[in-house]
Amino acid sequence: MNARQQFVEGERLDDVVVGPRLEPGDDVGLIGAPGQQDDVHMGARRVPHHQRQLMANLAIGLFEHGGITTTVTRAKALRPYAEKLITKGKKGGVHRQRQVVALIHDQAVTSKLFTEIAPTYHDRNGGYTRILKLGPRPGDQAPMARIELV
C-alpha cells in the first residue's frame, strides 16, 4: 500500500514526513521555493517604477536648482543617472530630447537641460556633478549630502 492509498483510506501517515509537524495556529510565514529577490536600494524596499520616478524627481530638482540636498545613498544613485542625461543633452538632437522627456516627464526641464546646462559642459568628458557630505540629519541621523552641478 502506498502513501496515497493510506491517505485516501483515512489512515495516519506517520512514516511519511515531508517537513516539521505543525500544529493548528502555528505561524509558518512564507514557505516555498525562493523566488525573485527583493531589490533594496536607498534605505528602503522600492519597486522598480518607484525607483524610476524617484530618480526622475531628483534629476528634475538637480537641473532646476543646480543642486539638491538629499541622503548620501540617493545622491550616489542620482550621479550616474544625471550624468547620462547631461551626456544626451550634449549630443543634442530631437531623438535624444524625446528620450530624456520619456525618462523625466518634464518638457520645461528637458529644454533647460538641452539649451542651458549641457552646452556649458561641451569641453568636459564626464564628471558633471559633485557630492558634498554634510553630516547626519537631525531627526534620524541619516547621512546627508548635497549633489550639485559643477
Residue with cell 505543525: 22
Tell whether the model's pLDDT for residue 7 goes beyond 60.
Answer: no
Classify residue 77: in a domain, yes or no: yes
What range defines the domain where residue 123 resides?
45-149
Classify residue 40: in a domain, yes or no: no
Q: pLDDT, tens digit, for every residue of 22-79?
A: 677 666 555 555 665 554 456 556 678 888 999 999 999 999 999 999 999 999 999 9
Determine the pLDDT at residue 110: 96
Q: pLDDT, tens digit, for every residue of 103-149?
A: 999 999 999 999 999 999 999 999 999 999 999 999 999 999 999 99
Classify residue 38: in a domain, yes or no: no
Q: Is 117 helix (H, G, I), strand (E, B) or coil?
A: helix
Classify residue 12: in a domain, yes or no: no
The CATH number of the domain holding residue 81 is 3.90.1030.10
* Helices and strands per DSSP (H, E), number in the chain: 5, 5
* H-state helical runs in the chain: 3-8, 48-65, 72-91, 94-104, 107-112
Determine the pLDDT at residue 48: 84
Determine the pLDDT at residue 1: 57
Pull the grid cell for residue 22. 505543525
Determine the pLDDT at residue 36: 57
Distance CA 143, CA 137 (A): 6
For 51-64, give the secondary structure using H, E and C.
Answer: HHHHHHHHHHHHHH
How many domains is the chain partitioned into structurally? 1
Residue 95 CA to its chain's centroid (Å): 25
Determine the pLDDT at residue 56: 95
Determine the pLDDT at residue 77: 94
Determine the pLDDT at residue 44: 54
Determine the pLDDT at residue 3: 56
What is the chain's alpha carbon radius of gyration, rounded to the nearest angstrom?
Answer: 26
| Mean per-residue pLDDT, 17-23 | 63
